[in-house]
């Protein structure tokens, strides 16, 4: 029973960490990373579609992403979608492909990205803490209604706190790794 009650909050916390991982992949670190295109949608016959579903995405060099659409007429659509997504890189196109050239990051831009990463980390920590708060409130309600004894509630709260600490540590590790990656020249 205790495991089932904690499982709900464990899943919420895990989703926060997973979401942070996805968001961090989209933060560019001066190297070409195809994940910066994950949130970009291109108009494909009236349907917003991820670029990966209408083109081949490759990284021929450390700072270049090459997008080769399966239909030549999609070159303009992909270029327009990238410009509209405002990922900070202007695409260059030729008849058959779109190229994204990642410039070297300046020290100032690196610091801005580190701030952005820290904010993403704080947002994720807040989600984890909110899940802990919800869990503790739920446990108190069960105690008041007499469903569960005080000892069980204390044990559940302790386990919930340990779970929270585990996920907060994971978030801190992810943020530290991304900061090091961003500050490496």
**Residues 170 and 19 sit within 8 Å (Cβ to Cβ):** no
CATH class of this structure's domain 2-26+106-183: mainly alpha
**What CA–CA distance (Å, rounded) separates 67 from 57?**
5
Check for a shared fold between 2-26+106-183 and 34-101.
no
Tokens of 16: 């926060």
Residue 1's pLDDT band (boundaries 50, 70, 90)? low
**What CA–CA distance (Å, rounded) separates 25 from 100?**
17
Cβ-based burial of 134 (10 A; exposed 0-12, middle 13-18, buried ≥19)? middle
Neighbour count for residue 98 (Cβ, 10 Å): 24
Which residues make Cβ contacts (< 8 Å) with residue 60, sequence separation at least 6? Answer: 66
Tokens of 128: 């984890």
Closest residue by Cα to residue 178 from 81, 110, 82: 110
The 10s digit of each residue's pLDDT in 22-69 is 888 777 666 777 877 888 899 888 888 888 889 998 888 878 889 899
**Residues 43 and 115 sit within 8 Å (Cβ to Cβ):** no
Local structure of 87: helix, strand or coil: coil
CATH class of this structure's domain 34-101: alpha beta
Q: What is the CA radius of gyration of the chain?
A: 22
The 10s digit of each residue's pLDDT in 90-127 is 888 888 899 988 877 788 888 888 998 999 999 999 99
Give the chain's count of helices (H) and strands (E).
4, 6
Q: What is the pTM of this model?
A: 0.69
Sequence spans of domains, the chain: 2-26+106-183, 34-101
| Residue that is written with structure tokens 């007499």 in the block | 146
């Amino acid at each position: 029973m205790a495991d089932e009650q904690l499982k709900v909050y464990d899943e919420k916390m895990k989703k926060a960490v997973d979401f942070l991982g996805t968001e961090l992949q989209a933060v560019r670190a001066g190297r070409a990373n195809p994940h910066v295109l994950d949130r970009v949608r291109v108009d494909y016959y009236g349907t917003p579609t991820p670029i990966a579903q209408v083109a081949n995405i490759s990284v021929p060099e450390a700072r270049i992403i090459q997008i080769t659409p399966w239909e030549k007429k999609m070159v303009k659509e992909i270029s327009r979608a990238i410009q509209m997504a405002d990922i900070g890189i202007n695409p260059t196109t030729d008849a058959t492909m779109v190229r994204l050239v990642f410039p070297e990051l300046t020290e100032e831009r690196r610091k801005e990205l580190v701030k952005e990463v820290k904010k993403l980390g704080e947002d994720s920590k807040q989600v984890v803490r909110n899940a802990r708060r919800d869990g503790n409130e739920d446990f108190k309600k069960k105690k008041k209604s007499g469903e569960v004894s005080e000892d069980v509630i204390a044990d559940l709260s302790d386990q919930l706190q340990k779970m929270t600490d585990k996920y907060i540590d994971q978030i801190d590790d992810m943020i530290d790794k991304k900061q090091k990656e961003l500050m490496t020249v």
